[in-house]
Chains A and B, each alone.
Chain A
Amino acid sequence: KAGVTQTPRYLIKTRGQQVTLSCSPISGHRSVSWYQQTPGQGLQFLFEYFSETQRNKGNFPGRFSGRQFSNSRSEMNVSTLELGDSALYLCASSLVAGYNEQFFGPGTRLTVL
């Protein structure tokens, strides 16, 4: 069974631009969660989607948004990028909603210049 895949793996953007990251969960998994990881703040929860609906959202500004498609693939979008958005963005999938075992992708390393 293929694992969670994230694209792109690396991304360089400049301040003010926007970016879209993609996550394909493990086949059959319907829940997708997104996390931001930085050296200063650690792993921070962004949001969780289940069956195309956002179940929960972390304490991030409205510039961070996401969606989930009918095939469970998910995208997250960050608009008006700031230097502080530089981070490793991790996606995780699980069979059902809630917080049992999560399977993580390799992450997208975003650098904002």
Chain B
Amino acid sequence: SQQGEEDPQALSIQEGENATMNCSYKTSINNLQWYRQNSGRGLVHLILIRSNEREKHSGRLRVTLDTSKKSSSLLITASRAADTASYFCATDARDNTDKLIFGTGTRLQVFP
């Protein structure tokens, strides 16, 4: 079963707008990661946030983590057509199963 559930499932925006994706998970975690996947290809690591961090930035990306709500959000500012992809959160559950578990993903479409 998947640890993370993302919403929305799909998001369509215009270039220049901001895109926000949310991820909820079930168990305690050590860290949470966000990945991007272009259609039918491998995943690309975007950012990792540790359980003791609340916010992290990388370029146009901003990730927040709320461990009390077991949720995270990924904000992409000033989106570009090249940001069109699926975005996944992934968590390593602190339940001794020692697995990296991916969420269901958000499909982002950025129109030029």
Contacts and interface: CB of A to CB of B under 8 A. Distances in A.
Contact of A90 (B31, B43, B45, B98): B43
A100 B104 contact: no
Contact of B48 (A48, A101, A106): A101
B42 interface: yes
A33 interface: yes
Contacts of B41: 106-107
Contact of A107 (B2, B42, B90, B97): B42
Give the interface residue-count category, chain A. Answer: 20 to 34
Contacts of A43: 88, 102, 105
Give the interface residue-count category, chain B. Answer: 20 to 34
B13 to A, nearest CB: 23
A76 B22 CA distance: 33
A106 B102 contact: no
A63 to B, nearest CB: 20
Contacts of A92: 42-43
Given A99-B92, A109-B40, A33 B100 contact: yes
B25 to A, nearest CB: 13
A contacts with B: majority SS: strand
B82 interface: no
Contacts of A35: 102
Given A98-B92, A99-B92, A100-B31, A45 B43 contact: no
Interface string B19-33: 000000000001101
A7 to B, nearest CB: 14
Given A45-B100, A56-B97, A104 B2 contact: no
